[in-house]
Amino acid sequence: MKRLIIALIMILGTSSMMFAQTNTGTMPYEGSYHYYQVNGGTRVGTNTYDWKVFLDNKTAEATLGTHFVFTDASGATLGGATPTTPANTEAKIYIKWLVANTGAESYYVSIGESNDHCTTNRLLQVTVVANTFDIYAELTGTEDACATVDNPVEDKGTVGDNSDDNFGLTARNYVVKAHNLATNAVTAKTVAWNYTFTLVDKKTGTTTDEGIVLNITVDGVAKTSGSKIDIAEGTAESNISVSYTTNSNRQDEDLDLILTITSGADALGTEDADGKADSKNEVKYLVRAVPATTGITTD
């Protein structure tokens, strides 16, 4: 009979990273995914692997699709809408935790490795904590202010006609922040994260996007509304700037510049926790109309 040698190394995280404090493989955020492996993640010969997750009593299994799902390395659920278990040839698997533990409860990740004759079982305690990771937006200037007007406005065309005059450039800035990011214990930096933004301009009191905003930059790079923004490790803020020529709409009505943040997630697959007091996934500036004064005429 072959001698079964098990080297159980639960190196926990995603990719090749190990994380400190919460949102680790043994203390993950609800909604995050992490890898769990034995034998360095390499299959031993023709051995098979039976991965399970147990509830706190260590006898009843957690419910696949309710308490957790198995995923691939990108965080996509195995089986999609109908979650499945990994192949029994896998010494390394990924688990996404769907429900946080309460009180002193924990989950237990179980692995049973079998050769032709024998099986060895191991358990790892995992305590899933409530997700406190949050991505939100803030205004960096006065919420309610007039559009920008050059002083004085330069008369470009026919005296007394303001149709082609340049009134100036109106600009507004936003900051998108990531709160309670996990930290990479190797680099001591917060993990990477991402979000998607939309920016619309509507005449106050209406629902139609006017399409007036001409320029959008995110962290100094030109972007369009609807873009996904990737933020590098070690950075917890992202800056969005928008601008348009003040007389693009003749400035005859007040304008709302509305920024909406969606699909926020960190490098561990942890999704943005909405509903928190500091969650501001939609913020807006009210840009007050300025008089579209014509050039001065005389006799």
Strands 255-266 and 183-184: unpaired
For residue 15, the model assigns a pLDDT of 37
Contact 283, 46 (CB under 8 A): no
- Check: CB of residue 127 under 8 Å from CB of residue 107: yes
Per-residue pLDDT of the chain (299 residues; tens, 9 = 90+): 334 333 333 333 333 334 444 678 999 988 889 999 999 999 999 999 999 999 998 999 999 999 999 999 989 999 999 999 999 999 999 999 999 998 889 999 999 999 999 999 999 999 999 888 889 999 999 999 998 888 777 776 666 667 667 788 899 999 999 988 888 778 889 989 999 999 998 888 888 787 777 799 999 999 999 999 999 999 999 999 999 887 765 556 788 999 999 888 888 778 887 645 455 689 999 999 888 787 777 77
Beta strands 228-231 and 193-203 are antiparallel
User: Domains plus CATH for the chain?
Assistant: 19-126 (2.60.40), 134-288 (2.60.40)
Residue 115 zone, left/alpha/beta (φ > 0; ψ -120 to 50; rest): beta
**pLDDT at 161 (0 to 100):** 66
Q: What size, in residues, is the chain?
A: 299
Q: Return the pLDDT at 252.
A: 65
Report the 10 Å Cβ neighbour count for 56: 17
> In the prediction, which pLDDT does 9 show?
35
Number of neighbours of residue 7 by Cβ within 10 angstroms:
9
pLDDT of residue 6: 36
Q: Which residue has the tokens 């034998």?
A: 39
The rounded distance, in Å, linking the Cα atoms of 279 and 126 is 28
Query: Tokens standing for 120?
Result: 């060895």
Alpha carbons 278 and 109: distance in angstroms, whole number: 34
What is the value of pTM for the model shown? 0.71
Structure tokens given for 125: 């305690």
Question: Got the DSSP string for 105-121?
Answer: --EEEEEEEE-SS-EEE
The predicted pLDDT at position 250 comes to 54
What pLDDT, on a 0 to 100 scale, did the predictor assign at position 281? 86
**What is the per-residue pLDDT for 145?**
94
Could you tell me the two tokens for 68? 């957790």
Please state, in angstroms and rounded to a whole number, the distance separating the CA atoms of residues 291 and 268: 51
Place of tokens 């909604």: 31
